Amino acid sequence: MSIDAILSKIDEIAYTDKFALNWADDFSSAVSENDMLERLGLSEDDMKDYSEQERKEHILGAAKDWIYDRSVDFDSEFRDKAKWDDGLILHRCIAVDNVKKFVKNLENKKFDKGYLGIGVYWSWNEDAAECHWGKGSEYVTVVGRVPLSAIDFKRTAHANFDQSTSEEDEITVKAGSKVEILGVKNANSEELLSKIKKLKVAAGRGSI
């Protein structure tokens, strides 16, 4: 039921003109306009005689079509791979200097120097949790759990519908909310920290 609630909230955000316009603006800033038009199934030749307003309307319509198609795939992928167990199960890969020290600090609710928390960017798909965070050479995957109220649905929708980040299967946690840590695995998927009841760690803004 809560998987349905998450998808409903994301679709509610994504199926709006505002979202589609922001999506098109982000897309056009990342690639040339011709590339954007081509990927949206439009042609500069077909649009050359349109007024500026007509161009915007055609781009908006094509963007909404793309978003709808993406939502169909996203809903299917999310239902297949996301897990709910009294909260959404999340995964976050972090590069650390010393795995044992990291785990010990985590058990004591401490973070690396200069960081506010365990981080706000997680993945709902364990296989997609890649290490973009941290400065060390050893990788660990933190397994967490959050309630619906901790999810930043607006940022999550943009991340999962973005042309460049959708494959990361991202869940953005609200800054300052709490993530319950269920476990930590090393690069070989060996469990380093088993479930500790009520170990809740802040997902602070600006953190790893």
Domain boundaries, the chain: 2-81, 88-202
- Statement: the pTM of the whole predicted model exceeds 0.75: yes
CB-based contact 181:144 (threshold 8 Å): yes
Q: Which residues of the chain have pLDDT under 70?
A: 1, 112-115, 133-134, 164-167, 193-199, 205-208
Residue partners of 8: CB distance under 8 A and separation at least 6:
none
Residue with tokens 């982000």: 26
C-alpha dihedral, 4 to 93 to 73 to 159, nearest 10°? 90
CA dist., res. 148 & res. 153, Å (int) = 9
Could you tell me how far CA 179 lies from the centroid of its own chain? 15
Q: pLDDT tens, 187-202?
A: 777 777 665 555 677 7
The C-alpha angle with vertex 79 and arms to 143 and 85, in degrees rounded to 5, equals 40
Rounded to whole angstroms, how far apart are CA atoms 134 and 72?
Answer: 33
